[in-house]
Amino acid sequence: MKLFKAMATVAGFTMVSRVTGMVRDMLTASYLGAGPIADAFFVALKLPNFFRRIAGEGAFSVSFIPLYSKTIAQEGEDEAAKFAGQVFSLMTVILGIFTAVMMILMPWVIHIIAPGFEDGTLRYNAAVNMTLMSFPYLMLICLTALFGGILNAHNKFAPFAAAPILFNLTLITALLLGHNLFPTAGHAMALGISVSGIFQLGLMAYFMRRHKIQFHFQPPRLTEKVRKLFRLMGPGVIGAGVFQINLFIDMMIASLLAAGSISYLYYADRLNQLPLSIAGIAVGTALLPMLSRALSAGNHAEGRNLYNRSLEFCCLIAIPAAVALLVVPIPMVAAIYEHGKFSYQDTLTVAYVLMGYGVGLPAYVAGKVFMTAFWSRHDTMTPVKISIITAVCNSLMAFALIWTPLGVAGISLSTGLAGWIQIYLLRRALKDNTILTLDERMERVFPKIIIASVVMGFVLALLAYILQPFFHGMIMNKIWAIAALLGGGFIVYAACIHLTGVLTLSEIKKYMTRGPKDETHSLRHAADQ
């Protein structure tokens, strides 16, 4: 499958996922607002996801996919199916034991990750109960990630990209149908988290059978190949763990502030994650197996083109998105969240937090490409070292900035600034690599993307001023106003991109219609233009 077509497939499903996620967040804001119950629910949501991103989608995916793909190429489908079966059984045993232990220790775990939640308070009791309901999701989603990695290695990107849609739909259903059956709407959604894991795992199993991908259940044994997987995962677990621990440090700091601070970070991060996920997940999912194959085969020209076109794709999405977050954060937050229990004051606070995240958005998206470049060469140690440095800088800045008038927004600003520290260190580590360097096309189109984004920013500011009365009124007025605002900005940006020759309609058509055999030619053609 072509890189751009693969990225478009993943980005398309990710967009649908984010839209359903936005609906979920709108309903969450309406039912929970930004208070103690909301804070407790977001802790229950983040804890299993903390370990998932380490074991299920972080170190595991980037280590398993290249190793599984290599097994197929060198030993055949049957051996790869046995390898996957061994990994599945080991994950089930390890994660099952870990989940049981964590649930037993949950009252003490909450004290550690949210020290501001005092024993006996509403926030603490609700956080313990909700997290007990949500934590089984960890094992289910990690097994889902295993099947998703197998599908991705076979160039079947759509199923795993669509799995989060089930997550969002399940939580929406749990909220709407269960808010009167549980102590709070947060409890209903916490149970929905675990139920969604069952649905996502079932979806992956269905597509494994549909695409006739071999999978042989095996007893849990530490074979040489499984040991190699764990060795490859080791540095990645540390690196992903450092990043996720850094996010938890942010939550720990926020728990010491006024009630609602954790909620403010969550609501802002959800908006920040929309462009970050569309570009970052699409590139990471599609690029890793393709770049691994190109470098393993010694095809340096194709590897360089894959690297540059991925960076170009990221810049096309991340730079204008960052401009939008910095120029019109209040209209976006008001239109999406400001209803029910979510007040205008909540809107202002979330908007300031969102601007802090926006500062680092392009850096984090581009960092996904740089990280993939290291992973594709089985170099997981360099990103680990850089992640540790970045995390330390992030935490120190967060501790310093929360005591300024920025308050909780200081936490997000430190995250944004840390992103640029990370991208500087990653780029510096790649400077001596003659394969993974910027080509002529990338150097030519990058300033044009900047100019197009700046023009779009001026238009967004003008439209926001004109439409200002509609962002805080009736829900339908908000919908039309935000559609006009973002739609107008998108049209202007797309026109600028087309007129400056960054990406023409004919190029988009070529990217999306050419088959796998034309992959190398298409990439070289793009680089030569």
pLDDT tens-digit profile of 232-241?
Answer: 776 656 655 5
Instruction: Tell me the average pLDDT of the chain.
Output: 82
Side-chain-facing half-sphere of 398: CA atoms under 13 Å: 26
Query: Looking at residue 165, what is its pLDDT?
Result: 92
Dist CA 72 CA 463 (whole Å): 53
Q: How far apart are CA 159 and CA 150, in angstroms?
A: 11
- Token pair 């970052």 is found at 280
The residue with greater pLDDT, 34 or 40, is 40
**Those residues with Cβ within 8 angstroms of residue 429's Cβ, 6 or more apart along the chain or in another chain:** 374, 382, 386
If you write DSSP's letter for every residue of 1-37 in order, what string do you get? Answer: --HHHHHHHHHHHHHHHHHHHHHHHHHHHHHH-SSHH
Place of tokens 């944004």: 416
Rounded-to-5 percentages of helix, strand, coil across the chain: 85, 0, 15
4 band by pLDDT with thresholds 50, 70 and 90: low
Whole-angstrom Cα Rg for the chain: 23
Q: Which residue has the higher pLDDT, 520 or 374?
A: 374
Has residue 398 got a pLDDT over 70?
Answer: yes
Q: Are 229 and 92 in contact (CB under 8 A)?
A: no
CA-CA distances (angstroms) from residue 524 to 282, 305, 426, 439?
A: 21, 7, 25, 11
Amino acid at 59: A
pLDDT of 59 reads 65
Q: Which DSSP letter does residue 371 get?
A: H
Residue 523 has what pLDDT? 38
CA 375/CA 20 separation, integer angstroms: 31
> How far is 420 from 477, CA to CA, in rounded Å?
37
pLDDT at site 420: 93
Mean pLDDT of 355-364: 91
User: What is the Cα 363 distance to its own chain's centre?
Assistant: 14
**Per-residue pLDDT tens over the stretch 48-94:** 887 777 665 556 776 777 788 778 877 788 888 888 888 889 889 98
The whole-angstrom separation of Cα 61 and Cα 149 is 6
Q: Are 496 and 460 in contact (CB under 8 A)?
A: no
Residue 41's pLDDT band, with cuts at 50, 70 and 90, is very high
Residues 6+ apart with CB under 8 A from 225: 67, 71, 83, 86
Asked if the model's pLDDT at residue 345 lies above 80, the reply is: yes
- Please tell me the distance from the alpha carbon of residue 65 to that of residue 62, in angstroms, as a whole number: 6
The CA dihedral of 527, 371, 360, 262, to the nearest 10 degrees, is: 140
260 to each of 29, 254, 255, 346, 357, how far by Cα in Å?
A: 11, 9, 9, 9, 18
Contact indicator for 292, 69 with CB cutoff of 8 Å: yes
SS3 451: helix
Q: Name the pLDDT band for 517 (thresholds 50, 70, 90).
A: very low
pLDDT of residue 522: 40
Position of tokens 């219609």? 513
Which helix (H) or strand (E) segment holds residue 232: the answer is helix 224-255
- Whether 521 shows a pLDDT value over 50: the answer reads no
Query: Residue 179 — very low, low, confident or very high, per pLDDT cuts 50/70/90?
Result: confident
Strongest mean pLDDT among 120-124, 217-221, 241-245: 120-124
Average pLDDT over residues 304-317: 81
For residue range 418-445, list pLDDT tens digits in order: 989 988 998 888 777 666 677 788 888 8
Residue 100 has what pLDDT?
94
Q: What is the mean pLDDT of residues 148-163?
A: 81
What is the average per-residue pLDDT within 477-488? 90
Altogether, the residues listed in the chain come to a count of 529
Query: DSSP 3-state assignment of 345?
Result: helix
pLDDT attached to residue 341: 83
Residue 378: pLDDT band (50, 70, 90) is low
Q: What's the mean pLDDT in 224-228?
A: 80
Which of 186-200, 251-265, 279-293 shows the lowest mean pLDDT across its residues?
279-293
Q: Is the pLDDT of residue 414 over 50?
A: yes
- pLDDT band at 249, cuts 50/70/90? confident
pLDDT surpasses 80 at 288:
no
CB-neighbour burial class of residue 103 (10 A; exposed 0-12, middle 13-18, buried 19+): middle
Confidence of residue 227 (pLDDT cuts 50, 70, 90): confident
- Indicate whether 136 pLDDT > 90: yes
Percentage with pLDDT > 70 across the chain: 83
- How much is the pLDDT for 514? 45
Mean local confidence (pLDDT), 349-369: 89
Residue 302 contacts residue 525 (beta carbons within 8 Å): no
Is residue 511's pLDDT more than 60?
no
Encoding tokens for residue 518?
């034309």
pLDDT at 1: 46
